Chain A
Amino acid sequence: MLGSVRRCSHLAFARRAYATLVDPQEELRRQLCPMPVTLQTDAELLRDFKLKAPPSPPLPDFKPFVQSLVSVQDLFEARVHYGHRDGRLNPRMKGFLFGSRLGHTVFDLDQTLSLLHDALNFTAHVAYRQGVILFLSRHPPTLHLVERTAQECGEYSHCRRWRKGLFTNSEKQFGAVTRLPDLCIFLNTLDTVLEDHWAIGEAGRLAIPTVGIVDSDCNPSTITYPVPGNDDSIPAVRLYADLFKRTILEGKARRTKDEEGGKL
């Protein structure tokens, strides 16, 4: 009979991992006279960490590229400024509105543009660092468009019914060890008109950054890079899909170029 395998406890594993990372003398000193944790000490630790950290190669700047991709005129023509009725307004979206015209909300495209630039810039950086990007949407008219976009830029999409625990309980759900996405792009943050997409909460729990197009009836508070705009019109979704695709392809192209050029 085989002896039972001695399973390590989580604590032992963590302790071992920690021990390999720190300097033993430093560790001993810390254990003998532990430093009280205050904001002052945190700041000092951060400063020391920054000084000791090895100089990293300068990150590429995607902001000029992203700013040349889209303008207020493009957003306007794609009907991005149209919002829902006043009665469907989520109070957290009030700050993003230009106003309301005869009961229909209108987004402030100047704000939308700058937030969209931030979101696209972040996406480009994630693509540059070879992150896994997942497109999510539960809007049936644009389902095929989103899936095709993900395919064209070599990333992933999940536009069908979301099973709870796909992120938080991924090993059981998929039956194997899974790599979770490094970025989730929501082209529509609502599941039905009554509920938010469940993946927003799951991504938040696992510290996966999210980019989301939030309409006037959506909740932007748990999304890392919210982009206020219309998510119901096909021209608008087509524009977003095209922008994200081009950004991801640019990020990947620059990575290849830097690797070949020997910068990495």
Chain B
Amino acid sequence: MDEENAEWVAALLALSGPNRRKMATSIMRKWPLRPCPPRLLCSSARRPTRHPRVLKEILARTCSTGSEEAGDSEIKPRQGGFAQAMERFSDPSFINTPEQKSQHAPFATLLRNSKLMQMGDPKGKVVEGEIYHVVGDDLYVDFGWKFPCVCRRPAKHPEQYVRGAKVRLRVNELELSTRFLGSSKDMTLLEADCTLLGLVRAPLSVGS
């Protein structure tokens, strides 16, 4: 017996009784496999094939590694809407960078899909920021914009407002700049104006 046929025969033998008989007769007759319901055939061999080499490939692929591959792609419990949403939204890559797929997207696309555009009028919007610097009672919070905002440490749980803490802010102005009388250009303070709403998460080193 040839080596080539040997593995084919071995794969054939691995099939269950009725499948094996079916496969063997069709190979010998070189007839196309009749379309059958999935439970009687290897799951990927749906389409009728004429060439025995193709048949061999199908056998090798589906029957050599066991039934894991065959079962995995087809037999999956259909999830309800909530379960699907839960899976999608708890995936960290979705939360952090929704634009990951657009690696080579043009700048116009990146801008159009950015948070700046989605936010609309920044006045009154609630954003999350991280404290990156503390000077006395002044907290310098970076919320992803060009400028940081400087807020006063609140009276409630002051020990938790340290560098690394995540806080929630309400945006009043994105840039504190205004035109003074007699000047041709605005004068700017190089910072944003936000109201500190509360703490989201203190860093792990701070006891609760």
Which residues of chain A have a CB within 8 Å of any CB of chain B?
71-73, 76, 79, 81-85, 87-88, 90, 98, 101-102, 104, 106, 108-110, 193-194, 217, 230, 232-234
A79 to B147, CA, bound (A): 10
Q: Tell me the nearest residue of chain A to B97, going by C-beta.
A: A77
A87 to B183, CA, bound (A): 11
A93 to B17, CA, bound (A): 79
Whether the pair B188, A88 counts as a contact (CB closer than 8 A) is yes
User: Taking the complex as formed, is B207 at the interface, i.e. its CB lies under 8 A from any CB of chain A?
Assistant: no
User: Taking the complex as formed, is B177 at the interface, i.e. its CB lies under 8 A from any CB of chain A?
Assistant: yes
User: Taking the complex as formed, is B190 at the interface, i.e. its CB lies under 8 A from any CB of chain A?
Assistant: yes
B59 to chain A, nearest CB (A): 45
User: Which of these, A76, A83, A84, A102, contacts B110 with CB under 8 Å?
Assistant: A76
Whether the pair B107, A232 counts as a contact (CB closer than 8 A) is no
Q: How many A-B residue pairs have CB under 8 A?
A: 70
Interface of B is mostly: loop
User: Which of these, B104, B117, B142, B179, contacts A87 with CB under 8 Å?
Assistant: B179
Whether the pair B107, A110 counts as a contact (CB closer than 8 A) is yes
Whether the pair B111, A84 counts as a contact (CB closer than 8 A) is no
Task: Return chain A residues, CB-CB under 8 Å to B117.
Answer: 101
Whether the pair B185, A217 counts as a contact (CB closer than 8 A) is yes
Task: Return chain A residues, CB-CB under 8 Å to B185.
Answer: 87-88, 90, 217
Q: Tell me the nearest residue of chain A to B102, going by C-beta.
A: A73
Whether the pair B146, A73 counts as a contact (CB closer than 8 A) is no
User: Taking the complex as formed, is B16 at the interface, i.e. its CB lies under 8 A from any CB of chain A?
Assistant: no
Interface of A is mostly: mixed
A236 to B188, CA, bound (A): 19
- Given contacts A73-B103, A84-B146, A217-B188, 4 further A-B pairs with CB under 8 A are A82-B146, A98-B108, A102-B121, A110-B107
- Considering residues B104, B107, B147, B190, which has the most beta carbons from chain A within 10 angstroms of its beta carbon? B107
Whether the pair A82, B145 counts as a contact (CB closer than 8 A) is yes
Task: Return chain B residues, CB-CB under 8 Å to A71.
Answer: 104
User: Taking the complex as formed, is B199 at the interface, i.e. its CB lies under 8 A from any CB of chain A?
Assistant: no
User: Taking the complex as formed, is B18 at the interface, i.e. its CB lies under 8 A from any CB of chain A?
Assistant: no
Whether the pair A88, B177 counts as a contact (CB closer than 8 A) is yes
Q: Tell me the nearest residue of chain A to B133, going by C-beta.
A: A141
A23 to B190, CA, bound (A): 60
- Considering residues A83, A85, A230, A233, which has the most beta carbons from chain B within 10 angstroms of its beta carbon? A85
User: Which of these, B103, B104, B120, B146, contacts A232 with CB under 8 Å?
Assistant: B146
A219 to chain B, nearest CB (A): 11
Whether the pair A76, B190 counts as a contact (CB closer than 8 A) is no
User: Taking the complex as formed, is B52 at the interface, i.e. its CB lies under 8 A from any CB of chain A?
Assistant: no
User: Which of these, B103, B108, B144, B146, contacts A230 with CB under 8 Å?
Assistant: B146
User: Taking the complex as formed, is B122 at the interface, i.e. its CB lies under 8 A from any CB of chain A?
Assistant: yes
Whether the pair B177, A72 counts as a contact (CB closer than 8 A) is no
B56 to chain A, nearest CB (A): 45
User: Taking the complex as formed, is B159 at the interface, i.e. its CB lies under 8 A from any CB of chain A?
Assistant: no
A240 to chain B, nearest CB (A): 15
A228 to chain B, nearest CB (A): 13
Whether the pair B190, A232 counts as a contact (CB closer than 8 A) is yes
A119 to B111, CA, bound (A): 24
Q: Tell me the nearest residue of chain A to B121, going by C-beta.
A: A102
Whether the pair A81, B186 counts as a contact (CB closer than 8 A) is no
A82 to B116, CA, bound (A): 10
Whether the pair B175, A85 counts as a contact (CB closer than 8 A) is yes
